[in-house]
Amino acid sequence: MANTETTEETVRRATDAKDHAATAPPRPVAAAPGASFPHTPTGEGQDGTGAWTAMSGLLSAGPADVRAVDADVPGAVGRMLDHMLAERLRRARLADPRFAEELAERVTRFTLQGGKRTRAQLVWWASRACAGGDPASAAAALRIAGALELLQTCALVHDDVMDRAALRRGRPALHAELAGKYAGQVGQERAGRFGQAAAVLAGDLALAWADDLVAETPLAPRVQVAVRRLWSDLRTEMVAGQYLDVEGTVTAPRSPLRVLRAARLKSALYSVERPLALGAAVAGADEATLRRLCDAGRFVGMAFQLRDDLDDVFGNPRQTGKTCGGDIREGKQTYLVAAARARAEAAGDGAATAVLDRWLGDAELTERGLAEVRDVLVATGARATVEAKIDRLAAQGLRHFDGARLEEEGAGPLRALLLAAAGARLGRDAAAPPPPEHGRYATRARGSAGGGR
């Protein structure tokens, strides 16, 4: 097994080159907004400034109002989106009523229903940890957090099309819902193609609205440059990571390092590191603080993605909101699968590799087949390896975080949120090795799974 320094170097090498359900948040929060459509915006004009006025007014009285948002960050982000999306829907109806009803309203509903809003909370608490109770920074952080929620809508809607996923958050995925609406009129195949095409457009609309929200957020010139650069990088990285993820289903990369690089681009940066950086940038954080938070986010983000990989195979669909085994059906080369294959090959276990070859990428994966894959992931020690790696990554991330000079009022909740996002096993010594291996895997070649953690 590699030591801690080797693990950190592995992730750094990867950095140079799915909306999972997090554990309990650091504070009690209200449920995400429901499916109701937003209220008509109030305030000056019909150009979206009413939403900004409403949210700025909420926070303009001083730090006490900022602290009131702390108790329900997802709710505050939802209320801001409620105002903003009302204006977007009004414009969509002017463009075309059918477009507004069938596409814009679905994008709005999907965004307002939300999930854990983990990324939005990271933006908020990073801003609070860097700027304390400054109302101007807090109001801007809420808007950037809302933009991330819209970007998440884009990512999830497109991801479900690429993965041919029928469910999202326990409901029909957007493309499946639209296909079902017309299947009786034009047949399943034609309706399916329509649903996929419409979902691509829905994701594009969510991305456009996200960009609008960032562009319309009042920021000081220096802060504006930093935020827009981060936002630009985030969008490019997200697409690059998604492409590598899709490409991996046809090229089947076996290198754990390459798998980690794709995971970093697709999820780790987008889900943790960039939200932290955006929140800190909005607050005008100094370079040293920003660097510490980015380092923390790098490791926690990788842990986040590895936990998502585990949940896809071993999770409870009632908790994850999606069908189990989606990554196996799509043939995705996750670190979990790469570790299992590397360990099986090192141990000369042809039966284990045969199971992976048989079921990985099989769209008709059965429950029996999924059970066989699970058995291989456990028997090779890959599951335990990934669990241990998650703990270590979380611990490394928190060490970077603890080295930053932050406002305690925001630092405490932010630290707890990072630990929850990482999905690390609380109460366990993060430096402890994984359980001992037995049989042929006890003598496998060290480092055959990219450091083994």
| Residue 437 confidence (pLDDT) | 54
**Which whole-number Å values give the CA distances from 297 to 18, 20, 86, 324, 325, in the listed order?**
17, 17, 33, 27, 27
* Arithmetic mean of pLDDT, 326-354: 92
| 404 vs 22, more confident | 404
Give tens-digit pLDDT for 48-67: 444 444 454 445 556 778 88
CB 120 within 8 A of CB 405: no
Banded pLDDT at 8 (limits 50, 70, 90): very low
% of the chain surpassing 90 pLDDT:
57
Residue 34: pLDDT above 50? no
Convert the pLDDT of each residue in 209-265 to its tens digit. Answer: 999 999 999 999 999 999 999 999 999 999 998 888 888 778 866 677 778 888 788
* Residue with the larger pLDDT of the pair 322 and 207: 207
Averaged pLDDT for residues 294-312:
93
pLDDT at 1 over 50: no
d(CA 162, CA 185): 25
Residue 168 token pair: 């999202």
Instruction: Give the per-residue pLDDT at 211.
Output: 97
Cβ burial 249-283 (10 Å sphere, 16+ → b, else e): beebeeebbbbbbbbbbbbbbbbbbbbbbbbbbbb
* Amino acid in position 376: V
